A and B are shown apart, each in its own frame.
Chain A
């Protein structure tokens, strides 16, 4: 049996190799070394979610009808019988109530979309805070930012398709945002929607965009993203034996591949569990879209929430002059703000390189604490984003906590400008403290738990030098490497190694503590 399989496999391999000469490439690929770290699996979650999206989405296209043609409902869901609705909404009801497993697939698809975006965002944070975007990986950073934006567009198109009350409201807002563009606004919105809202064409147009155009581009970009990771080799954290010029990890085949493959099924399992057990987007409760209706507490999917928040916080500035109306109250929060945010995000690697003058190759990742300014900027941005996200739910907060929505809005408006800079300062300070803690560990070693009493009556706790495999992890700067080199020789005074803080950033209690004088200690004990 085994020999038969072997014979078959080798026969097939020979057949392919005779024609493609693929062995050389396959050999190198199987022997490829991939560094191991839990945070490297975040991007994998995004990739696997996308695969689940393709699978579940393809199944849904077999039943969905992307059409705004009006029909009178006569399906299985009795509460809506006789109600006029679009064919899109009717087919979504059919998927939910008449296709066996259809609701399950719909819910998996929706959950996978939420997870896809979440994984992208968390992966982005990992790449940002560890400096993985630095030379030579700026291109992959740009592709990643492109994927983030396309993911938002794809998600918005997807949840607009069922044409229920909630998604129709979202589309009307999108139309109104397009309308606000100076000079071109009416043209853009009329051409996209096919006329004055609702225009009658948007579902028909969003459908191919959602199932073909955008996923096709995303698939191509993901492929390119992975090819670049493969070709440039993955970054790694500092550690024993790890340098800028090598990769330390496990070979792709077989253990790593088995783990990654297993991880795909586990991610898929999480989505299956959510799709089966956690109801999402119950469109039959919202009802079909009716331009004169809206439900209170309307919320978009989470990844659009920050734009909803910025729109809610914006003061009502409008300019009416020279025969035209200009609407900063719409333009700034929905177009200028995301343009600036995503623009800065995309350009960040180049901005940082310009400001630091760092043009070197970087294959070793930073520890966030070693780059207080970058980490501070990252936390500042996250804080800014979170305030917008919270603002997107200001009505929910108001009703849950019985607060005035006006006061919440005013508070968040102020917080948007005050809290992020504070978050920057606090993070920077924290990073410097953590650096000092590292230096302290390198200087003094680890507390041993052994208390010794000195002849003077003083109690001191003995420390043991940090085990070398851990001190290596802390050796992230040339100064620290030097410190480690001197740590066990005891013959010279190591130089100060943490960033030299000024003002507020000065460590509490003065300067970095000098290392304990072991020799003097021993003399006293003797």
Chain B
């Protein structure tokens, strides 16, 4: 046995002894009062000392409050001014001081100056008297009989139907929360259109040659509000043409080693934008799905089940990248109405 346990088992000198009546095989019974702390009522000297300590703590609260008010009024606060960053910590320190003063004062007060004795209280029996129970059941039954419900089946059925029909009332209101839309059509469409230029984050069109090999650029459709469209964000990646492996049907979707994928993760919709140049991996920071940018963004790892959709691009007469059209499948996470044929097409 360790020392600490032995120490714990030794009765502490201050602890009032608790006496048990010898009670074989039963529960021992307390025969004396057990005070939680020494009673200072007959020790005026120690009581006075305790009173001073408690009062000091209560007065500490006043100090804290004064500090809080002075800080609030006088300390530098505006962003960028000297020492403005000390404002919040100072408020915290003074409020902590005030609350600790009151809190610890109250606890110390209770632990020294108040009488706190162990008291025994009997529990009441929770369950009702069987007689009361029976009477209650009887009253309920009688009332039910008096209401006529058990006899009048027409009344009973009509009230059930009538009251039950009320449950329908909130349903149209609930549907008012959104517009009636063809979900599959809405979810399959993004801002990309045939001939729409690829704009960078600042709204400038991206030209063939803007990007070095190994470089990436966030691109957005050249439509009003395209920069903020939650489903249209895409990533333009340039790699050596010989590194890029696409299926024959997608041969024309890329331009001289440039390829564009939707960045909306097919798992839960986070933007997949962490690109690893050497391995051509695209990594989602939310749940770590990893896609192979060199192989039609095939899933390499993680909870995502489908490739990132690829955007077919070409180059217009002025040398700017344009989309050949919208994505050929819905971008982002799966949903019930999503047709399996979308994925069959690309062999995912």
Contact = CB atoms under 8 A, between A and B. Distances in A.
Given A78-B80, A250-B36, A277-B93, A266 B119 contact: no
A41 to B, nearest CB: 11
Contacts of B110: 254-256, 258-259, 262
B117 A268 contact: no
Contact of A255 (B25, B93, B103, B115): B115
A450 interface: no
A172 interface: yes
Contacts of A296: 274, 285
Contacts of A78: 79-80
Contacts of A323: 339-340
B257 to A, nearest CB: 23
B303 A181 contact: no
A250 to B, nearest CB: 5
A405 B290 CA distance: 11
A160 B177 CA distance: 20
A232 B126 contact: yes
A324 B340 contact: yes
Contact of B107 (A77, A194, A258, A466): A258
Contacts of A164: none
A240 B31 CA distance: 10
A183 B36 CA distance: 62
A104 B187 contact: no
Contacts of A395: 285, 288
Contact of B88 (A36, A103, A247): A103
Interface residues of B, number: 101
B6 A191 contact: no
B346 interface: no
B123 A245 contact: yes
B328 interface: no
Contacts of B186: 195-196
B171 to A, nearest CB: 11
A447 interface: yes
Interface in B160-191: 174-175, 177-179, 181, 183-184, 186-187
B281 to A, nearest CB: 11
Given A233-B123, A248-B118, A294-B271, A316 B95 contact: no
B245 interface: no
Interface string B75-115: 00111100000001111110110011011111111110011
Contacts of B28: 240-241, 468, 472
23 contacts: A179-B335, A180-B335, A185-B335, A190-B181, A195-B186, A196-B181, A198-B230, A232-B126, A241-B27, A250-B116, A255-B111, A255-B115, A268-B103, A275-B92, A290-B228, A291-B271, A312-B288, A315-B303, A325-B339, A446-B1, A446-B9, A468-B20, A485-B24
Given A201-B177, A406-B301, 10 more contacts: A76-B78, A246-B121, A250-B36, A265-B102, A268-B103, A272-B96, A275-B88, A276-B90, A292-B218, A449-B6
